[in-house]
């Protein structure tokens, strides 16, 4: 629902000052009686005709201190997992929360699955369990590197 425009709010207050009733003003303006009454009430309480800004909803837990701490943690250890980052803040946070915050800060999760193969240390095992070849890899993946999205080439 949209707020009543300021010029119409001024007109409502002018009509009240002329001695008109709330019912008459509501019929004139095309709004319900409660809306007209609220305009006058808010004008008395706040002293302004400007509509109230949006002040409801849950406030974010991502404070400036936590933003700075996340930046410090990523600078010190760019391969940290979401769980590690969440545990190192002033209180523990879930991985989904940390992921959301990092994306809001412009950081991107970049995963490098396997290191490049070389002759001395092959990437894949030649024999796997129960006759399976090429499974599992003999090296664990290098999990993640956090990079700024605008610095990552496309």
Range of weakest confidence among 7-11, 27-31, 50-54, 111-115 = 111-115
Q: pLDDT of 119-148, one tens digit each?
A: 565 555 555 445 444 444 444 443 445 556
pTM > 0.85: yes or no? no
Rg over CA atoms, the chain? 30
Residues 39 and 70 both lie in one domain:
no
What is the average per-residue pLDDT within 59-84?
Answer: 87
Q: pLDDT of 28-52, one tens digit each?
A: 888 899 999 999 999 999 888 888 7
Contacts of 94 (CB under 8 A, 6+ apart): 86
Q: pLDDT of 86-99, one tens digit each?
A: 888 888 888 888 88
Tell whether 123 is covered by a domain.
Answer: no
Give the count of domains, the chain: 2
Contacts of 125 (CB under 8 A, 6+ apart): 134, 135, 136, 137, 138
Residues 73 and 109 both lie in one domain:
yes
- SS3 call for 39: helix
Domain that holds residue 10: 6-46
């Amino acid at each position: 629902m949209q707020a009543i425009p300021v010029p119409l709010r001024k007109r409502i207050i002018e009509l009240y000052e002329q001695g008109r009733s709330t019912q008459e003003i509501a019929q004139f303006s095309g709004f319900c009686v409660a809306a007209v009454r609220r305009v006058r009430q808010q004008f008395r309480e706040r002293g302004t005709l400007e509509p109230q800004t949006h002040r409801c909803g849950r406030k974010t837990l991502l404070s400036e201190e936590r933003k700075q701490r996340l930046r410090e943690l990523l600078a010190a250890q760019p391969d940290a997992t979401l769980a590690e980052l969440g545990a190192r803040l002033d209180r523990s946070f879930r991985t989904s929360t940390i992921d959301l915050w990092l994306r809001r800060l412009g950081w991107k999760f970049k995963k490098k699955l396997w290191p490049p193969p070389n002759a001395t240390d092959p990437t894949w095992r030649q024999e796997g369990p129960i006759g399976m070849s090429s499974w599992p890899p003999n090296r664990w993946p290098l999990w993640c590197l956090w990079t700024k999205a605008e610095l990552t080439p496309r």
